[in-house]
Amino acid sequence: MIETPPAPKGFLPRHTSIRTRLTLWYVAVLALVLAIYLIAVYLFQYGMLSSQIYHDEIQDVETVEGLLYFTPGGALQLHQEYWSHPQTHLLIDRLMEVRDLEGNVLYRTDTLHDQALGPSKQSADEGDGTFNERTTRLADGTHVLMISHRHPVQGRMLLIRLGYSLAPLAGRMRYFLAALLLALPIALLAAGIAGLQIARRALAPLDTMTSNAELITATNLHGRLVAANEHDELGRMARVMNSLLERLERSFAQLQRFTADAAHELKTPLTSIRATGEAALESNHSDPARLREAISVMLEETARLDQTVEGLLLISRAEANQLSIKPTQFLLRPLVQEIVSLLDVIIEEREISLSEQETDPASTTIFGDRMLIRTAILNVLHNALKFSPPGSQVSLSYAVIQRENQPFLRLSIQDQGPGIEPEDRERVFERFFRVRGLQVDSIEGSGLGLAIARLAVESNHGFLFFDHAPIGALCQLDLPQASGPQLSHSVNNL
């Protein structure tokens, strides 16, 4: 079972398309980045402008200091050159107030409209040595950046306060902010539209593949997904899906063949039973010998049917992983001898001489489910006897071999029958596969024996296959000698 991952929890409704999600995420991230950028630019611009004002102001204070003089009447005046001093666009109104150290106002520019610039009581050290800078508010509410400095004029120490209104700066910053905030939604809208287009283009191949996949159904499994670029992510997905489809198609075809074969296999004995029954009914009722014979034929066919159904059940249980496997450690040789005695009748009937290699039974330990391994050996040995010409020889031998560094016991069953062509050596393990031309009336069978044998062996981590042999068929059965990490292999490709 493939588990679907839980749907991502989020603020977007579940049916939102990937396209929309991608675009929204993109726009959100971009908005965040832009907002941080705007704040940084705004603060930088503010810092630049205010430090420019500060420097201009200090320069102004120094200019003013050189232009102040007392009239012979004792009034403080400013040489007129000052007003022609170039103004920056930010400095519309210069505000100036000059006091003596006692706090008496000696000079005030008209721009102050008789308002005090800064606190009416100065502190004892205001403007002493350095340029004191502070923002203050005039009586009419104007924000002002004020600088204080002490300077002697004609022998008298004066406190000069120079101020610039901050209104032009605030206005400029507001204007700047408005421009930035206006650009933000426009940029985001443009990015959103572009993002949506990009997402649409990027996901378009997915749409194509989806409609492609919609056309593939159980009756049309040979359809395949086509990816625009087989090297990108979608191409890789298409490749994986296609190989899945291929396996699916193959097992589907196999299943269909299997069902057809099974139906055929069941139909043959049923037809035979029916024909025998009908013939018996039509013939002379009073002949008990003929009736007996008919009944015995019907019973034989029923037994064959029973065997086929039994085999099919076993296979389907194995495929559904419902075989109950109880592995134990046991000796193979006594099991083989048990099977040989079961087949005594057919050995005698066909006058086969069966030879078994002399081995110490104790050296034939294997690990597996005894019942399943018994079924496998019985099927293989039965075949060897069945397909051998009368009077020929069948030999059994044991050997310990290594397979991927694990000890395995190999049981070889060699007969002198027709053998199996190399191209059929794997196919004989398919269900219902029987080599054509080999079946004679006396050789009955359903074609399930080897399929079952291989299932049984593989579910015990063993291997079953036909080897090359100079004459006859040589069947190799490799069984693990100990439990442990075994090679896992599929039992589905029978």
Site residues (CB under 6 A) for ligand ADP? 379, 383-384, 387, 415, 417-420, 428, 433-435, 438, 445-451, 473
Q: Which residue is nearest to Mg ion (CB)?
A: 449
Residue 447: contacted member of Mg ion, ligand ADP, none (CB under 5 to 8 Å, by partner type): ligand ADP
CA count, 13 A, side-chain hemisphere, 299: 6
Residue 164: contacted member of Mg ion, ligand ADP, none (CB under 5 to 8 Å, by partner type): none
Figure out which of the listed residues 127, 269, 449, 472 binds Mg ion, where binding follows CB under 5 A.
449
Which own/partner contact pairs does 296-299 have at CB distance under 8 Å and 24+ positions apart? 297/272, 298/273
| Residue 205 is a binding residue for Mg ion (CB under 5 A) | no
Residue 159 is encoded by which pair of tokens? 């406190």
Rounded to a whole number of angstroms, the minimum distance from the CB of residue 340 to ligand ADP is: 16
Q: Which residue is nearest to ligand ADP (CB)?
A: 445
User: What distance in Å separates the CA atoms of residue 386 and residue 388, rounded to the nearest whole number?
Assistant: 6
CA-wise closest residue to 337 among 364, 367, 372, 311: 364
Rounded to a whole number of angstroms, the minimum distance from the CB of residue 2 to ligand ADP is: 34
Q: Report the site for Mg ion in 376-405 (rule: CB under 5 A).
A: 383
Q: What is the DSSP letter of 478?
A: E
Residue 433 is encoded by which pair of tokens? 């596969």
Rounded to a whole number of angstroms, the minimum distance from the CB of residue 380 to Mg ion is: 8
User: What distance in Å separates the CA atoms of residue 318 and residue 452, rounded to the nearest whole number?
Assistant: 9
CA-wise closest residue to 328 among 366, 378, 274, 273: 366
Residue 235: contacted member of ligand ADP, Mg ion, none (CB under 5 to 8 Å, by partner type): none
Which residue's CB is nearer to Mg ion, number 449 or number 472?
449
Rounded to a whole number of angstroms, the minimum distance from the CB of residue 446 to Mg ion is: 8
Phi, psi of 159 (to 5 degrees): -105, 115
Which residue's CB is nearer to Mg ion, number 138 or number 451?
451
Q: Who's near 435: CB < 8 A, 6+ residues apart?
A: 420, 421, 424, 428
Which residue's CB is nearer to ligand ADP, number 367 or number 387?
387
Which residue's CB is nearer to ligand ADP, number 333 or number 386?
386
| Residue 446 is a binding residue for Mg ion (CB under 5 A) | no
Which residue's CB is nearer to Mg ion, number 64 or number 448?
448
Residue 277: contacted member of ligand ADP, Mg ion, none (CB under 5 to 8 Å, by partner type): none
Rounded to a whole number of angstroms, the minimum distance from the CB of residue 483 to Mg ion is: 29
User: What distance in Å separates the CA atoms of residue 63 and residue 297, rounded to the nearest whole number?
Assistant: 134
> What is the four-CA torsion angle of 317, 321, 322, 324, rounded to 10 degrees?
110
Which residue's CB is nearer to ligand ADP, number 293 or number 421?
421
Rounded to a whole number of angstroms, the minimum distance from the CB of residue 419 to ligand ADP is: 6
Look up residue 492 and give its amino acid: N
Residue 148, judged by CB atoms within 10 A of its CB (0-12, 13-18, 19+), counts as buried
Helix crossing, 18-67 with 167-214: angle to 10°?
170
Rounded to a whole number of angstroms, the minimum distance from the CB of residue 212 to Mg ion is: 45
Rounded to a whole number of angstroms, the minimum distance from the CB of residue 228 to ligand ADP is: 47
Q: Provide the binding-site residues for Mg ion, judged by CB under 5 A.
A: 383, 445, 449
